[in-house]
Structure 1
Amino acid sequence: MTQLPKPTSLPPSSSPNTTNANNLQPHEQTQTATTSTAAAFPSPSLNLRITNLTHPGTTLFLSTTNPSITIPRAINNLLRLLYNSPSDPSTHPPPTSSVTLILEDFSGVAYTVGSPTDSNAKEIHFSQSYISHIDRSRLANEIDGVLTHELVHCFQYNGRGNAPGGLIEGIADWVRLRCGLAPPHWKQEVKDNWDAGYQHTAYFLDYLERRFGNGTVRRINEKLRVNRYDERVFWPELFAQDVKSLFADYTRTLKQQGL
């Protein structure tokens, strides 16, 4: 197992396919404040494990990505978005002690799990087969996006294990969206349920962030730390509205835009 350097204060990631400068606005607003204090954020040990060094996916990963840069940068970006700064008393990052990236061959894209013996030790499993099939023109961007999404799972809260999976995945994709790492196929579209998950919930959360102000998703994540998730009280306590009403408002804005 290769141990990667611990996270340091690095600039936000950029992407050649970023089309909305507002996606990076939270980074721009907090970069100066966090540059000198990022070291106070949780600083987990970072490790890399490769199960098959000769797999084409491994070759592509290592030729386009420097994990000792990409992973610490992604961690710092997500911490800024979900926790603002180490000195912010309204947020409390979890005590994640280690993150191990494991490149191995399996169907699917990636998943994150905790160690059975230490809940603060996280493992990100990334499919070598998936990596080998990514369009070469956006290989580095997609790897960065997937890693950012999975790293969010290492540092977010889940309402004492009771939050809907769509919300958890939506928060992870919202961070990816705000980092300018949305893939080309993502788009806002009308869905039946607010917790459809992934980019669908991410765009809904981004609507709430714009409507209620920067730090809205941060407040959602913090409430998921403090309280066991109960939809009947969770959203009204935050926004004085239930989530179905908020989602109906969001859906109306999409229809007005012809989406």
Structure 2
Amino acid sequence: MDKNPCISLPSFLLISSLLLQGISAVRYIITNNVPNHPGGIRFEREIGVPYTLKTMKTINNFIWNVLEEPTHGERKNIPVLNVFISDFTWAAGYTNGDFNINISAQAIQSYPPGGPKFFFTSLMYHEMTHIFQWSGNRTAPGGLTEGIADYVMVKSNFYVPSVYPKPGSGRRWDEGYGVTERFLEYCDSLRKGFTVSLNRRMRFAYSDNYFVELLGKPVGQLWAEYKAKFGNIPARENDGNNSHKY
């Protein structure tokens, strides 16, 4: 055996590529904190850890694709992502810190018969986007980051159009969820890739002036023109929060 084997250049590049992928890959961990809760039981029986792990990888790649972040240097460094199934009732899901997603067992329990995987996956698209999107070091309006999370969810088609806010509805551009998502779609229609460019600008800081830079108008004016275009549809109660009713 040759004690000093020589590695060809193609082999070296392949090995280097695999090493880089291993270093940058996100590790997913799912913990069911409430295995005896009806929602925790339903998670194990109708969704499961294997499905969740496979789906998280798919969602992760989808987010990078939608936000147009093909290289590691353009992405957030998230070495590990935890998902906890826990007992809380004030939301369907939420993130805390940079690496944690919390899913309500009560929400899973309430999913309609035959539909837990669909609604669970919809929620995961939203919550995982929060992990990987930029937020201006948490200076961006919360409603805007919620709108971008819904924007990715809508792109995935894991949502229910019949109960989702219609274009033109809402009280404020930064109301969040579906209201802001529909406004971002409108801004995309004015400039292709607007939402992607806005997210990219928010890597280090946020400013309302980004709307002027990208679209040539203040956000307030854009919102007024958007509302006028769709006939100033009045906001329904909790209109912006339909994604979290899933």
TM-score, normalised with respect to structure 2: 0.78
Indicate the SS of the match to 1:176. Answer: helix
Does structure 1 residue 95 correspond to structure 2 residue 77?
A: yes
CA apart distance, 1:98 = 0.9
Distance in 2, matches of 1:205 and 1:98, equals 30
Does structure 1 residue 206 correspond to structure 2 residue 177?
A: no
Find the counterpart in structure 2 of residue 156 from structure 1.
133
Amino acid at match of 1:77: F
Distance in 1, matches of 2:44 and 2:223, equals 41
Find the counterpart in structure 2 of residue 28 from structure 1.
none
Match of 1:170 among 147, 171, 174: 147
CA apart distance, 1:136 = 1.9
The runs of at least 4 consecutive aligned structure 1 residues that moved more than 3 Å come to: 39-42, 256-259
How large is the Cα RMSD of the aligned pairs? 2.3
Does structure 1 residue 112 correspond to structure 2 residue 95?
A: yes
Amino acid at match of 2:101: I
Amino acid at match of 1:224: M
CA apart distance, 1:84 = 4.5
Distance in 2, matches of 1:151 and 1:251, equals 30
CA contact (8 A) 1:40 1:86 kept: no
Indicate the SS of the match to 1:57. Answer: helix
Distance in 2, matches of 1:211 and 1:41, equals 39
Instruction: Show CA shifts across 1:116-151 (max 9, x none).
Output: xxx5xx110101011101112432111001111000
Distance in 1, matches of 2:23 and 2:108, equals 30
User: Matches of residues 74-153 of structure 1 in structure 2 within 5 Å?
Assistant: 74-86=59-71, 92-107=74-89, 108-114=91-97, 119=98, 122-153=99-130
Unaligned runs of 5+ in 1: 1-38
Amino acid at match of 2:75: P
CA apart distance, 1:230 = 2.4
Q: How many residues in Structure 1 have an aligned counterpart in Structure 2?
A: 209
Find the counterpart in structure 1 of residue 170 from structure 2.
191
CA apart distance, 1:217 = 1.1
Distance in 2, matches of 1:256 and 1:128, equals 38
Distance in 2, matches of 1:139 and 1:131, equals 7
Unaligned runs of 5+ in 2: 1-20, 236-246
Distance in 2, matches of 1:133 and 1:47, equals 24
CA contact (8 A) 1:83 1:93 kept: no
CA apart distance, 1:257 = 9.2
CA apart distance, 1:42 = 4.7
CA apart distance, 1:208 = 1.5
Amino acid at match of 1:132: Q
| Comparing 134-143 and 166-175, the one that deviates more | 134-143
Find the counterpart in structure 2 of residue 249 from structure 1.
225
Going from structure 1 to structure 2, the CA distance change for 1:135 and 1:248 (only over 3 Å counts) comes to same
Distance in 2, matches of 1:69 and 1:172, equals 20
Does structure 1 residue 238 correspond to structure 2 residue 214?
A: yes
Which structure has the greater CA radius of gyration? 2
CA apart distance, 1:246 = 1.4
Going from structure 1 to structure 2, the CA distance change for 1:41 and 1:150 (only over 3 Å counts) comes to farther
